[in-house]
Structure 1
């Protein structure tokens, strides 16, 4: 199972796997625990408005998908001010007619 595990990874998870020191993990259970210890911290973290400003609409991402992704991340932000949230949402749009309308209409 340890030999097949990297074939299921991509991106940051695959980079993490290749950064492991050789011969430090002897069983699949220890590999699983090392993976969870590294990545579970990131998934349980609650966000702030500052984190929402880091979200950007992808180059080919439709507005609907960006809004859904933003909404999901916003749901992880307790006690976030609505004005800051709206500012973060607006700042993450790529150039478009919709962005112009949102920014020009208070």
Structure 2
């Protein structure tokens, strides 16, 4: 906003919408009209929350993420993406390699090696299609089991 030349008043009004948790509470406790510029606001804000700044991790941290034996592909992807967002600079080739390295030896991994994806977006798109098929097949298996249970109860 500062680069766009937005006025201080607008930046001060927009700033609270970006906060949550302790930062929002801190802001709400400020004395009304005690700050007149965005520079003053940021000067008061920074010392309170600079310690809480999370430093970005390196790609090497992702090497420890492995899909557990009982972990679904959906859960593995969620965990992987959560950690990948904490990486400062990511390269798709490295992300893909690390992602594949953490996957269990299953059909989806085989499909990734068979048709090598070029971007992480490609991997996630293919994973979504694969998970949807898995969910559909699982739902088909569940229907007969439910019918059998209902018949056993009768």
TM-score (norm 2): 0.39
Whole-Å separation in 2 of the counterparts to 1:85 and 1:101: 17
Other structure's SS at 1:94 match: coil
Match of 1:64 in 2: 74
Whole-Å separation in 1 of the counterparts to 2:57 and 2:66: 16
Alignment pair present for 1:84 and 2:94: yes
| Contiguous gaps of at least 5 residues in structure 2 | 1-53, 117-154
TM-superposed deviation, 1:75: 0.4
TM-superposed deviation, 1:105: 1.1
- Which of the two has higher C-alpha Rg? 2
Other structure's SS at 1:53 match: helix
Alignment pair present for 1:105 and 2:115: yes
Match of 1:93 in 2: 103
TM-superposed deviation, 1:45: 4.6
What's the Cα RMSD here?
2.1
Q: Which has the higher helix share?
A: 2
Question: Which structure is higher in RCO with an 8 Å CA cutoff and minimum separation 6?
Answer: 1
| Contiguous gaps of at least 5 residues in structure 1 | 1-43
TM-score (norm 1): 0.56
Q: Residues 49-88 of structure 1, C-alpha deviation per residue, up to 9 Å, x if partnerless?
A: 1111211001100000000000000000011111101111
Select between 46-55 and 71-80 the one with higher mean Cα deviation.
46-55
Other structure's SS at 2:64 match: coil
Whole-Å separation in 2 of the counterparts to 1:65 and 1:58: 10
